[in-house]
Amino acid sequence: MSDVAPSRIAIYDMDRTITRRATYSGFLMHVVRRRQRWRVLLTPLVALASLLHLTGLVTRARLKAITLRLMLGPTFRRDEIAPLAESYADKLVASGLYDEAVEQIAADKAAGYRVLLATASFHLYVDAIAARLGIDDVLATQLDEGVGPDHIRARLAGDNCYGDAKFARISGWMDSNALTRDGSHIRAYSDHVSDQPMLRFAHEAVATTPSRSLRRLAPKMGWEVVDWRPKRRKG
């Protein structure tokens, strides 16, 4: 038996796991209202793209690229968007997080866990949120920076960090950090059934304020279920 203590890793999804709501639409509207307000007029096109996604004619990744292009433009300057990402992160951290999620992150860190944030949301603003939570390791959806370091294209670079693609990114991160499942103790937290690959991989899986599908699946898999919504006071 090895005397080396296993590495402790806590992997968190972000939207509706740590945050109370999905963050992408909120970020886009935060930027539009402070940058090019006329783009609000394009929201019916965003709704149409969302409908096409629901019918299966547009992929999730394509939908994200379309909405980004409509709301921010085909290309945009990093130095123009970065301050807005910071102010959005401030706003979100002030009132948009589950308190119990923040407490659990702090508890995991205090217990010696290396915390990894793995989310389908964009690095464009996720990094600012992670910094405010004291999380250094982040896997998120990346945008095309092919036009130079100061400009970003409104299209994805690589896969949308979701489902199996997210798990592939987690596996790559572990490889690059010389970490293995057998040599680690892994906790994983998510609200959504799309994170099954990540949850199955973990030694401890926690379904946090879960979606209906995950709530049904979790007991069958022996996963803990927690509800991080604020508790209503009786009386």
pTM reported for the whole predicted model: 0.92
Question: 131 in helix, strand or coil?
Answer: helix
Question: 233 in helix, strand or coil?
Answer: coil
CATH of domain 7-226: 3.40.50.1000
Residue-by-residue pLDDT tens, the chain, 235 positions: 445 578 999 999 999 999 999 999 999 999 999 988 898 899 999 899 999 989 999 888 889 999 989 999 999 888 899 999 999 999 999 999 999 999 999 999 999 999 999 999 999 999 999 999 999 999 999 998 877 768 888 889 999 999 999 999 999 999 999 999 999 999 999 999 999 999 999 999 999 999 999 999 999 999 999 999 988 765 5
User: Which residues neighbour 51 within 8 Å (Cβ) at sequence distance 6 or greater?
Assistant: none
Domain ranges of the chain: 7-226
CA atoms within 13 A on the CB side of 136: 4
- Residue entry with tokens 């964009």: 122
pLDDT of residue 181: 96
pLDDT of residue 4: 56
The residue ranges of DSSP E strands in the chain, in sequence order, are 7-12, 75-77, 114-122, 137-141, 151-153, 184-190, 204-208, 224-226
Dihedral (Cα; 122, 125, 131, 132), 10-degree rounding? -120
Annotate 5-66 with DSSP letters as a single string: PPEEEEEE--TTTTBSS-SHHHHHHHHHHHH-GGGGGGHHHHHHHHHHHHTTSS-HHHHHHH
